[in-house]
Amino acid sequence: MNDIKNNCIKPVYIIFGNETYLIDKGREALKKAVVTSFPELNYTRLEGEKLEADELSAACRTFPFGTEKRLVEVRNPEILRSKGRGREEDEDEEENEDEKASAPGKDAQPFIEVLQNLDDTVCLLLLSYGSINKKRKKLLDEVKKHGAVLEFNRVERDELAQWIKKTLGKSGKNIGPRELNHFISSTGYLDKNGSKTLYDLENEIKKLTGFMGNSTEVTIEHIEAIVPRNIENDIFKLINACYEKDTGRSLRIFNDLLLEGETTLGVLALLSSQVKNMLKVYELYEKKYNRRGISEKLKLHEYTVKLCIQYGSSIKRQALQSAFRKCLDTDLSIKSGGMGDRLAMEMLLAGLFE
């Protein structure tokens, strides 16, 4: 944004990360600054999955019409994606620089040559929704030499609070510190393994302001009326409490779910489903699939896969199998009239991993 304000736009940018809202805002701002006229001639979007270097080079060599620069945008370039099914690397782990110099997949050298020969009449934007392969060291170094590599992930709490207040203010709504903290906690945006983006919060704010009508002050009651409880998180917390033999905590979570309107059979079905997912994820994780690979193979959201790994990695496979059988037995017992649903569920939670 500073480059745009100072009219000092670089020849090439890599923008990536998990905060799609910020990525899109950055992309829109850059496009607006570069493509000042004739967008049909001065803007080219390429899909990166099968993009070859010669196609990219041809797009970058095309001269702008009626303006100083044209923008070439590459969406999710394959050259920057990780290959293989290996376990995801710990983000905090320090890697050997020599090992980072080489990476599997498409040859980077032709793309590096394109970057080395960019004219001052083009701005190249490589846009990736998600992580990139940081082992492409030579390619990334070349981008940094001529431009910038920018990672947009979830914003910190203070920035988030300011953004929420500003967004509410545009609709003439005010929110106090207590209500703001409750709203942030309820949305789950800052959860360690959460997948919410500012788009999700923007939608919640729209629902909140619509529900408030003419009221100008946001209350806890307003928030609780429109922000849905994240039941998936609650089910995994329930499984974790059962595994840690914390019966009191597991019953509290169960009772809270009932108070939120869930039924006993509904909670049991969700519990069975997630234990089954944990078994499937466990099997693929042991075969060295990464989270994205597991998500694609099982047709599960990556966030669900993260939770399965987070809560299930310390539970042995045999224990998960036993827990799943107990869920099925409890379901049969309730539906056949052998035991009341509430009692059966409480007994299950007390002995799920016995």
Q: Is the model's pTM score more than 0.95?
A: no
Q: Which of 143-147, 170-174, 267-271, 288-292 has the lowest mean pLDDT?
A: 288-292
Superfamily grouping for domain 2-151: P-loop containing nucleotide triphosphate hydrolases (3.40.50.300)
Q: What is the pLDDT of residues 91-137, one digit of tens each?
A: 333 344 333 433 445 688 999 999 999 999 999 999 998 888 888 88
- Residue 172: count of CB within 10 angstroms of its CB: 11
Fold observed for domain 157-226: Helicase, Ruva Protein; domain 3 (1.10.8)
Backbone phi and psi for residue 150, each to the nearest 5 degrees, phi listed first? -125, 125
Q: Of residues 161 and 289, which shows the higher confidence score?
A: 161
What residues have CB less than 8 Å from 352, skipping those under 6 apart?
Answer: 239, 242, 243, 323, 326, 327
Cβ(298)–Cβ(281) under 8 Å? yes
Mean pLDDT value of segment 74-96: 56
Q: What is the pLDDT of residues 298-322, one digit of tens each?
A: 888 777 888 888 888 788 889 999 9
d(CA 221, CA 225): 6
Task: Answer yes or no: same fold for 157-226 and 231-351.
Answer: no
d(CA 342, CA 123): 63
Query: Is the pLDDT reported for residue 214 higher than 90?
Result: yes
Q: State the CATH class of domain 231-351.
A: mainly alpha
d(CA 152, CA 307): 22
Domain spans, the chain: 2-151, 157-226, 231-351
